[in-house]
Amino acid sequence: MDLIIKGGTIVTASDQYVGDIGVEGGVISQIAQSLPANGARVIEAAGLYVIPGAIDAHTHLDMPFGGTVTSDDFETGQIAAACGGTTTHVDYCLQSVGGTLHAALDTWKAKAVGKAVIDYGFHLAVTDLTPSVMNELPAMVELGITSFKCFMAYKGVFQIDDATLFQVLEQARELGVLVNVHAENGDVVDLLIHRYVNEGLVTPRYHAASRPPEVEAEATHRAVALAELARAPLNVVHMTHEGSVRHVAEARARGATHIHGETCPQYLLLNVDQYDEPDFQGARYVMSPPLRQAKEHEYLWRQLASGTLQTLMTDHCSFRMADQKTLGKDNFAKIPNGIPGIETRVPIVFSEGVGRGHISLQTMVATMCTNPARMYGLYPRKGCLAVGSDADIVLIDPKKRVILRAETLNQHTDYCPYEGLEVTGYPVLTISRGEVIAENGKYVGAPARGRFLHRGPYQAP
């Protein structure tokens, strides 16, 4: 063996026990109560939790949006991810209007070349479904792109109609892949945006007002109905409140276990009142869907704990306050949508979720590691600690306290949405394919070591 992680508390989606993990050639080769060193490098993990490397399957790195480009590229974003305990990354690749899927994939692959430091793949966002584009979908699956994305919002930019969504769902069923959907009624949102702007109501607060909970709930209901009709796997991403999640819950109760839901840390900790922060600071929280009432937090934690929501991703979409968010200084509709979070997810969920008793350690691993690995065609290579799996392993010190501050994080932004939050429990070592790549918040791995992941078919978690 090349490496032994010794005496840690190993946590999987179903178990927790003390033991050793042996690594050989970048793969887990043995798991036992005690393994002899025999010349291998030994990492003492007594008192630490040993979990699978987390998967972040909802990010937007180096993405053009709103007249600018997200401030994290594949190098800075993935370094931040590694330092925060994430070892696998699936980014959104966006088809341009009139463009081919092959061209979109080539564009996004080029963004990662020479920069990626962790293993990565792509979802393919279909925005212009012509007959020729429809014919490209099987080829995308052959290339390892086994999840598609449809936007029901961003009218005139990304939004697709119901017929397009239904056709993509039908194709996904035939191809054995998953469809992610951004569920907001884009037509109503567009109407409300214009109404508020015309009335001179242009502060960040009106970003939230223009995207009320009802437009998310309605679109979620529609997406779920279409997926049930098409008998296709569906994942509703970045869910924010009870009115939306209950449509997923009801579908699953009807036996439609191919219907899934995702939420994000921002919807578990932050709330709509933050849009009222003075001096335009509310723009830091402009994202879509927007933040909701604080009363939703407890409900969302319960849905993660119960399994109604299967994944907890970040929707990392970073823009600087100084020169990017300010594009909407006089009009909330021009504020680039998104917040950073790729580095802070694991410690926040461990501290605020597990530490406060909202979810178990097993649920944390299930929602950030094992479930996304299954849904996105990576299991059992990723997302679990098992013999034969990639040695993507994270060590968490449950006693380490860290105050989250933009200046000490690796995310390439000038603010942190959780500035000043003290978390208890932090990743202290990140291992990717048997290589130590991050230690105590610093990247120590080789440059451009990340590999493209040819993903397999969807599996229900």
What is the reported pLDDT for 26? Answer: 98
pLDDT over 90 at 417, yes or no: yes
Residue 458 belongs to a domain? no
Clarify whether residues 88 and 68 are in a common domain.
yes
Distance, CA of 362 to CA of 370 (rounded, Å) = 10
Any idea what the CATH number is for the domain that residue 7 is in?
2.30.40.10
* For residue 457, cis peptide bond before it (omega within 30 degrees of 0): no
What is the reported pLDDT for 235? Answer: 98
pLDDT above 90 covers a percentage of the chain that reads 100
308: containing domain: 60-375
Distance, CA of 281 to CA of 339 (rounded, Å) = 13
* Three-class DSSP labels, the chain: CCEEEEEEEEECCCCEEEEEEEEECCEEEEEECCCCCCCCEEEECCCCEEEECEEEEEECCCCEECCEECCCCHHHHHHHHHHCCEEEEEEEEECCCCCCHHHHHHHHHHHHCCCCCCEEEEEEECCCCCHHHHHHHHHHHHCCCCEEEEECCCCCCCECCHHHHHHHHHHHHHHCCEEEEECCCHHHHHHHHHHHHHCCCCCCHHHHHCCCHHHHHHHHHHHHHHHHHHCCCEEECCCCCHHHHHHHHHHHHCCCCCEEEEECCHHHHCCHHHHHCCCCHHHHHCCCCCCCCCCHHHHHHHHHHHCCCCEECCCECCCCCCCCHHHHCCCHHHCCCCECCCCCHHHHHHHHHHCCCCCCHHHHHHHHHHHHHHHCCCCCCCCCCCCCCECCEEEEEEEEEEECCHHHCCCCCCCCCCCCCEEEEEEEEEEECCEEEEECCEECCCCCCCCECCCCCCCCC
What is the reported pLDDT for 293? Answer: 98
Clarify whether residues 89 and 233 are in a common domain.
yes
- Residue 31: phi and psi, rounded to 5, are -135, 125
Residue 457 belongs to a domain? no
Clarify whether residues 325 and 403 are in a common domain.
no
Clarify whether residues 9 and 112 are in a common domain.
no
Clarify whether residues 396 and 312 are in a common domain.
no
Number of domains the chain is built from: 2
Clarify whether residues 33 and 89 are in a common domain.
no
Clarify whether residues 230 and 368 are in a common domain.
yes
pLDDT over 90 at 51, yes or no: yes
Residue 459 belongs to a domain? no
Residue 364 belongs to a domain? yes
Clarify whether residues 307 and 207 are in a common domain.
yes
Cα-trace Rg, the chain: 21
Q: How confident is the model at residue 66 (pLDDT cuts 50, 70, 90)?
A: confident
Q: Quick: pLDDT tens for 260-311.
A: 999 999 999 999 999 999 999 999 999 999 999 999 999 999 999 999 999 9
Q: Quick: pLDDT tens for 148-177.
A: 999 999 999 999 999 999 999 999 999 999
CB atoms within 10 A of CB 313: 26
Clarify whether residues 188 and 114 are in a common domain.
yes
Q: Quick: pLDDT tens for 112-153.
A: 999 999 999 999 999 999 999 999 999 999 999 999 999 999
Alpha carbons within 13 angstroms on the beta-carbon side of residue 359 total 32
Clarify whether residues 29 and 69 are in a common domain.
no
Clarify whether residues 369 and 394 are in a common domain.
no
Q: What is the mean pLDDT of the chain?
A: 98
pLDDT over 90 at 222, yes or no: yes
Distance, CA of 117 to CA of 107 (rounded, Å) = 18
Residue 256 belongs to a domain? yes
Q: How confident is the model at residue 37 (pLDDT cuts 50, 70, 90)?
A: very high
Residue 416 belongs to a domain? no
Q: How confident is the model at residue 331 (pLDDT cuts 50, 70, 90)?
A: very high
Clarify whether residues 260 and 367 are in a common domain.
yes
Any idea what the CATH number is for the domain that residue 360 is in?
3.20.20.140
Average pLDDT on 332-346 reads 98
Residue 448 belongs to a domain? no
Residue 450 belongs to a domain? no
- Residue 138: phi and psi, rounded to 5, are -60, -35
